[in-house]
Amino acid sequence: MSNPCAVVTGSSRGIGRGIALALAEAGYNVVVNGVRPESDIGDVLDELKLLGVEAVYSQADIGTASGRENLLSTTRSAFGRLDLLVNNAGVAPRVREDILDASEESFEHVLRINLQGPHLLTQAAARWMVAQKESDPSFSGTIVFITSISSIVASVSRGDYCISKAGLSMAAQLWATRLSEYGVSVYEVRPGLIETDMTSAVTEKYEAMIADGLLLEPRWGTPEDIGKAVRMLARGDLPYATGQVLTLDGGLTSLRL
């Protein structure tokens, strides 16, 4: 198949879905990933295929070794290549608790999925990309880490989430450094307040903060906003920039007087 292939973790909904659709519009075949049964995400696959590309689903928990192996095995079987990995899958803590009270179980759960999983998935995907580069010097791979402003903005009611995203920011730097000799570009995309299922429980809180001037662009971000950014990086529209952080937060983290 001549189309490049993208694996987007956590792409059955939310930001991941927005990314998958943007990549399909750019001509990428897409491996959709999530933990729900395939019968629950048929609409996503149909939507992608209507854009003229191939799309398959891999039900896999990237926080487990078997899940990561299954995801890449599905990719090999379906497309035989991997041009782009988007590490998007992530979870919020099941219960928001002050860091004085948060449980070890919550910490392990969040870090396993948000940090350990993407780092080890990238390791396996990078080895595949290196092999492709060695067999075809024209190969050009890309890896994108979707993090969060929570990697630099402290939120003491979900410290495990913040720590996981901060670690993922460093993972992006490490992989950008390690893979540079193979021409594999690595980026971090750092979203702010994005309107998804994950943020639905705190909608009123953040809408009040937005109305009170929290953002320079006074609106929620959308999965489509993030998808457009990833598509730009995948197409190579931002050259000479591997290892860089692209912050899409409506100006939330801009310093102001």
Query: Which residues does the annotation mark as catalytic?
Result: 161
User: Residue 189 forms beta bridges with which residues?
Assistant: 146, 246
In contact, 11 and 62? CB cutoff 8 Å: no
User: Residue 185 forms beta bridges with which residues?
Assistant: 142
Buried b (16+ CB within 10 A) or exposed e, 136-146: eeebbbbbbbb
Retrieve residue 130's tokens. Answer: 């290196």
- In 3-state terms the chain splits into helix, strand, coil percentages (rounded to 5) of 45, 15, 40
> What are the residues whose beta carbons fall under 8 Å from the beta carbon of 20, sequence distance 6 or more?
6, 8, 11, 30, 32, 44, 48, 55, 227
> What are the residues whose beta carbons fall under 8 Å from the beta carbon of 168, sequence distance 6 or more?
87, 114, 115, 118, 119, 145, 147, 151, 188
d(CA 154, CA 174): 23
- Distinct helix (H) and strand (E) counts, the chain: 8, 7
